[in-house]
């Protein structure tokens, strides 16, 4: 390092602590590019201790799904050296499976973020240098298509370079195994071990990307593979004879979705598609939004405005890698009435649970009417997803299974059925509250494109039969109770943020709340400690085993009235998430008033969570 004198070095060392060692490794490693070193050197020259500590206080965490972080120089950033180092660990694990397995190759995709193509080439070059063939998409591609491609080409694994819906400064690195799903036990921990065993950036084997292509180790994904994916999406269609006059406004939020959405809907016969022009082109700067997250109504302002101008029936949006889907529906009456809190002019922004409930009911009711609903059909949801879905499934006599948060767990159940060749279990649909839907077993991850087509078909059916989405929800509430959910995310970045998240989780474990927003807590479920504890007098009992799901850092409070509060650290972002689920019993003709009560209770629950977080420093 270029420090002016030993005193300056000692001062920096004292200020940075453990981070100083990682900083020294970065600056002295010959495989770290000069531009990455120069970026850090400028911080050293200006004695920017705060920024240096943030960049080097840890190695960017390789979680059970891969990497995600801010792009820039440093051990706690997304960059070429970090990507190569992680990929070497992944390659080492693949090589341990044997030469035949390694030669199956790895599929690699990337989205529209500014560094995605570069990171994809870096990963491909390391895999190639290890003798592992790579199938690389020659243009931006969706995450669901990558999941499909892994299985279709018989690859040993896959990589998708994306940070999903994160702000522009982020990028990420999702790791998939041969089943087309993000890595689960035992592969996740074994891959982690291999990644951790690569302790220096220079340990990554490298060859230039052009050399890898010339050697035939990096090949393009065949066009027929993408065609096969769209054929699977087309096969989801239940009612091809529906009137296709639905007016659709769609935004890909500057991501990968424009062409796939247009192609898929054209295959289904829906031609009245209007893509928001300001957001149609891929652009990793995401210039029209703060975050390209379809879960947040602010990201859909342009789309809703265009829909109002064109009198569109529905608005749809996907995130940059096209695995999440948002649905906004035109319903002036509901927007002025019971759904006013979700209204944007004449349009109602449906949350992920509401869209999931509507889609499940549509699929099951349509299949029942058509005679294609089978006893072996199963639906899967996550433990933080609305229990309204379970009640709908029970109405149709369809089994619904719960699993941990994340589609890798939903896919894991499907993969297990496939391995065991179970004829009495056939996957039909999967969902989680965060706008994720897995519409068929042709993919093993969220598929915003396939789900978009299903949502359009459902909307066309509603229009043909004179039904509104909100009216249908109220009828479901009348039968199953008025459900409303909300998600609170608390961003806690950096070293101290990570520690505070730990303190918040530990506080609930050690001193669980007995009362939440005026409602007694009946039970606390701790999926990390694998125990469920019930209230006994004025305290919780020692608990009993909570079996059936893998360990996960999730705590769930079940209240006496059936409401639930779930909390967990995000697996991909520096934040802690709180999931609120409220149900108010509804009588015939009273679903609107019951829903209003649920919405009011959500406000109370939000305040209680905010107060709880504020009380823990």
pLDDT tens track for 530-588: 999 988 777 888 888 888 888 899 999 999 888 899 999 987 678 899 999 999 888 77
Structure tokens at 464: 């043909």
pLDDT band at residue 316 using 50, 70 and 90 as cut-offs: very high
The set of residues, in sequence order, having a beta carbon less than 8 Å from that of 12 and lying 6+ positions away, is: 3, 20, 44, 47, 49, 52
The set of residues, in sequence order, having a beta carbon less than 8 Å from that of 225 and lying 6+ positions away, is: 148, 149, 152, 153
134-143, 506-515, 525-534 — most confident range: 134-143
pLDDT band at residue 595 using 50, 70 and 90 as cut-offs: very high
Is the separation of the CB atoms in 94 and 106 below 8 Å?
Answer: yes
Is the separation of the CB atoms in 17 and 25 below 8 Å?
Answer: no
Handedness of CA 249, 254, 258, 261 (dihedral sign): negative
* 7 has pLDDT over 70: no
Neighbour count for residue 259 (Cβ, 10 Å):
15
Give me the domain span that covers residue 140: 65-221
What Å distances lie between residue 559 and 334, 352, 522, 545, 599, CA to CA?
30, 22, 5, 19, 17
d(CA 509, CA 195): 31
369 belongs to a structural domain: yes
Q: What is the pLDDT of residue 1?
A: 58
Q: What is the pLDDT of residue 589?
A: 77
Least confident among 12-16, 217-221, 313-317, 370-374: 12-16
d(CA 452, CA 205): 41
Specify whether 266 is located in the same domain as 176: no
Span 227-269, pLDDT tens digits: 999 999 999 999 999 999 999 999 999 999 999 999 999 999 9
Instruction: Give the helix/strand (H/E) hosting 585.
Output: none
DSSP alpha helices (H): ranges in 481-590?
494-510
2-16, 224-238, 580-594 — most confident range: 224-238
208 belongs to a structural domain: yes
| Percent of all residues in the chain with a pLDDT value above 70, rounded to a whole number | 99
Active-site residue, selected from the candidate residues 112, 116, 147, 164? 164
E strands, 203-342, where?
218-220, 248-251, 273-275, 314-318, 325-330
**Can you tell me whether residue 574 is helix, strand or coil?**
coil
274 belongs to a structural domain: yes
pLDDT band at residue 107 using 50, 70 and 90 as cut-offs: very high
CATH number, position 384 = 3.40.120.10
d(CA 309, CA 423): 50
427 belongs to a structural domain: yes
Place of tokens 């519409």: 439
Specify whether 391 is located in the same domain as 339: yes
Is the separation of the CB atoms in 527 and 555 below 8 Å?
Answer: yes
Specify whether 147 is located in the same domain as 50: no
Q: What is the pLDDT of residue 5?
A: 47
Q: What is the 3-state secondary structure (H, E, C) of 518-548?
A: CEEEEEEEECCCCEEEEEECCEECCCEECCC
Domain total in the chain: 4
- Residue 252: name the closest of 277, 218, 232, 233 by CA: 277
Long-range pairs of 5-13 with CB within 8 A, sequence gap ≥ 24: 8/47, 12/44, 12/47, 12/49, 12/52
Least confident among 43-52, 70-79, 403-412, 571-580: 571-580
Domain boundary among 57, 77, 100: 57
* 465 has pLDDT over 50: yes
Residues forming beta bridges with residue 544, ordered by sequence position: 532
* 222 has pLDDT over 70: yes
Instruction: Give the helix/strand (H/E) hosting 22.
Output: helix 19-28
Is the separation of the CB atoms in 220 and 135 below 8 Å?
Answer: yes
Specify whether 163 is located in the same domain as 269: no
What Å distances lie between residue 233 and 129, 229, 314, 547, CA to CA?
35, 6, 20, 36
Specify whether 456 is located in the same domain as 499: no
Q: What is the pLDDT of residue 536?
A: 77
Specify whether 492 is located in the same domain as 370: no
473 belongs to a structural domain: no
Specify whether 93 is located in the same domain as 15: no
Specify whether 53 is located in the same domain as 74: no
CATH number, position 495 = 3.30.530
Structure tokens at 451: 């789900």
Specify whether 440 is located in the same domain as 530: no
- Residue 27: name the closest of 46, 7, 43 by CA: 43
The set of residues, in sequence order, having a beta carbon less than 8 Å from that of 513 and lying 6+ positions away, is: 521, 557, 612
183 belongs to a structural domain: yes
* Residue 15 annotated as catalytic: no
Q: How far is CA 45 from the centre of its chain?
A: 39
d(CA 514, CA 189): 35
* 6 has pLDDT over 80: no
Distinct helix (H) and strand (E) counts, the chain: 21, 25
Residues forming beta bridges with residue 515, ordered by sequence position: 520
pTM for the whole structure: 0.93
Burial of 195 (0-12, 13-18, 19+ CB in 10 A): buried
Place of tokens 């004449």: 346
476 belongs to a structural domain: no
Q: What is the pLDDT of residue 4?
A: 46
Specify whether 74 is located in the same domain as 50: no
Q: What is the pLDDT of residue 2?
A: 56
Span 389-421, pLDDT tens digits: 999 999 999 999 999 999 999 999 999 999 999
Average pLDDT, the chain: 94
Backbone angles phi, psi at 38, to 5 degrees: -65, -40
Specify whether 202 is located in the same domain as 341: no
474 belongs to a structural domain: no
Is the separation of the CB atoms in 68 and 572 below 8 Å?
Answer: yes
Specify whether 499 is located in the same domain as 364: no
Burial of 543 (0-12, 13-18, 19+ CB in 10 A): middle
């Amino acid at each position: 390092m270029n420090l002016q004198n030993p005193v300056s070095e000692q001062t920096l060392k004292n200020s940075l602590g453990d981070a100083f060692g990682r900083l020294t490794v970065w600056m002295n490693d010959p495989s770290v590019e000069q531009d990455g070193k120069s970026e850090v050197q400028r911080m050293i020259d200006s004695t920017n201790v705060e920024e240096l500590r943030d960049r080097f206080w840890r190695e960017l965490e390789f979680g059970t799904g891969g990497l995600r972080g801010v792009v820039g120089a440093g051990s706690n950033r997304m960059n070429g050296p970090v990507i190569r180092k992680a990929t070497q660990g992944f390659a080492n694990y693949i090589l341990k499976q044997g030469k035949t397995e390694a030669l199956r190759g790895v599929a690699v995709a990337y989205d529209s973020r500014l560094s995605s193509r570069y990171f994809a080439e870096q990963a491909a070059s390391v895999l190639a240098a290890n003798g592992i063939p790579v199938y690389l998409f020659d243009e931006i591609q969706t995450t669901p298509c990558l999941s499909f491609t892994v299985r279709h080409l018989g690859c040993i694994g896959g990589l998708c370079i994306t940070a999903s819906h994160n702000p522009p400064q982020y990028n990420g690195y999702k790791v998939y195994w041969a089943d087309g799903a993000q890595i689960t036990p035992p592969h996740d921990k074994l891959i982690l071990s291999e990644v951790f065993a690569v302790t220096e950036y220079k340990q990554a084997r490298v060859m230039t990307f052009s050399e890898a292509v010339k050697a035939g180790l990096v090949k393009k994904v065949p066009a027929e593979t993408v065609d096969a994916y769209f054929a699977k999406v087309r096969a989801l269609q239940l009612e091809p004879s529906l009137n296709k006059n639905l007016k659709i406004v769609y935004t890909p939020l500057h991501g990968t979705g424009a062409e796939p959405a247009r192609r898929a809907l054209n295959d289904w016969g829906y031609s009245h598609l209007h893509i928001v022009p300001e957001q149609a082109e891929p652009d990793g700067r995401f210039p029209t939004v703060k975050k390209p997250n379809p879960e947040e109504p602010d990201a859909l302002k342009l789309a809703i405005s265009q829909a109002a101008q064109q009198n569109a029936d529905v608005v749809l949006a996907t995130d940059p890698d096209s695995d999440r889907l948002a649905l906004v529906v035109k319903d002036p009456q509901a927007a002025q009435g019971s759904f006013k809190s979700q209204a944007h002019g004449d349009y109602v922004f449906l949350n992920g649970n509401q869209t999931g409930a509507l889609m499940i009911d549509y699929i099951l009711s349509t299949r029942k009417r058509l005679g294609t609903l089978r006893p072996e059909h199963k639906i899967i949801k996550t433990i933080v997803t609305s229990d309204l879905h379970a009640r709908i499934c029970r109405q149709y006599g369809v089994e619904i299974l719960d699993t941990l948060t994340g589609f890798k767990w939903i896919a894991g159940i499907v993969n297990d059925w496939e391995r065991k060749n179970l004829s009495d279990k056939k996957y039909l649909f999967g969902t989680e509250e965060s706008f994720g839907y897995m519409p068929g077993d042709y993919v093993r991850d969220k598929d915003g494109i396939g789900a978009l087509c299903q949502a359009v078909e459902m909307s066309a059916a509603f229009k043909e039969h004179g039904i509104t989405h909100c009216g249908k929800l109220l009828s479901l509430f009348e039968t199953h109770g008025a459900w409303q959910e909300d998600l609170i995310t608390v961003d806690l970045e950096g070293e101290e943020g990570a520690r505070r998240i730990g303190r918040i989780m530990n506080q609930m474990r050690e001193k669980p709340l007995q009362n939440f927003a005026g409602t007694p807590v009946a039970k606390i479920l701790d999926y990390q400690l694998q125990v469920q504890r019930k209230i006994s007098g004025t305290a919780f009992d020692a608990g009993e085993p909570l079996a059936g799901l893998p360990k996960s850092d999730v705590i769930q409070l079940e209240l006496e009235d059936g409401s639930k509060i779930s909390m967990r650290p995000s697996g991909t972002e520096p934040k802690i998430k709180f999931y609120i689920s409220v149900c108010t019993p509804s009588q015939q003709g009273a679903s609107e008033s019951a829903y209003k009560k649920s919405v009011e209770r959500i406000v109370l629950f939000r305040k209680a969570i905010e107060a709880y977080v504020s009380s823990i420093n």
